[in-house]
Chains A and B, each alone.
Chain A
Amino acid sequence: EPEVTQTPSHQVTQMGQEVILRCVPISNHLYFYWYRQILGQKVEFLVSFYNNEISEKSEIFDDQFSVERPDGSNFTLKIRSTKLEDSAMYFCASSKQETQYFGPGTRLLVL
């Protein structure tokens, strides 16, 4: 069964550094998403992406964040100048229609 995959599974970075989180969505899906989950809190929407552009973004998704589909299979989230409060699990998801399928997540720790 096709799955969303994410790399790396864990990432530790120093405050102020840039990180890139990578995702391979399910191959015939057209919509791509990033969510995050701070430890002990609910899953929060960051951004959705369709037809090579952002279709929707939350207030969290400010100029510190960017997304890209650099080729036909990968979908990336870049976080510039990381802050301590960016520490969270980041989930990629993809969908063909309404139902979104999530990847296993990248645990980001900012020190």
Chain B
Amino acid sequence: EDQVTQSPEALRLQEGESSSLNCSYTVSGLRGLFWYRQDPGKGPEFLFTLYSAGEEKEKERLKATLTKKESFLHITAPKPEDSATYLCAVQGGGNKLTFGTGTQLKVEL
């Protein structure tokens, strides 16, 4: 059974204070690892897809990396508008996504 564990559960940063979110996973035959952003009461918003170990993707202040056991979402110089819950999900055999519980990020001025 596919499993995803995210840490920390919650993270409070000052504006400009860079940090990383962790996603550890176990899956039989990784087809893709996905990062989503979720604002309160909204649907997950797609950020990145990573397919193989060593791959990296960047978008504005966010950078996602992947190893054979975990993925990191690096946030460089965050702003208050980056405050959200960040979800990690894996896709193994089949099309379903298995999600972690997310990291709730709060960026303060």
Contacts and interface: CB of A to CB of B under 8 A. Distances in A.
Interface of A: 4, 31, 33, 35, 41-45, 48, 50, 55-56, 58, 89, 91, 95, 98-105, 107
B74 interface: no
B31 interface: yes
B91 interface: yes
Interface string B62-97: 000000000000000000000000010101001111
Contact of A99 (B46, B96, B102): B46
B42 A104 contact: yes
Chain A at the B interface: SS class? strand
Contacts of A31: 95
Contacts, number: 58
Contacts of B87: 43
B102 A55 contact: no
B44 A95 contact: no
B58 interface: no
A40 to B, nearest CB: 9
Contacts of A99: 32, 34, 46, 49
Nearest to A3: B43
Contact of A101 (B46, B99, B102): B46
Query: Which residue, A42, A50, A89, A107, has most C-beta atoms of chain B within 10 A?
Result: A42
B99 A56 contact: no
Given A91-B44, A105-B42, A42 B49 contact: no
Given A42-B102, A99-B34, A48 B46 contact: no
Contacts of B55: none
Nearest to B38: A43
Contacts of A105: 41-43
Nearest to B89: A43
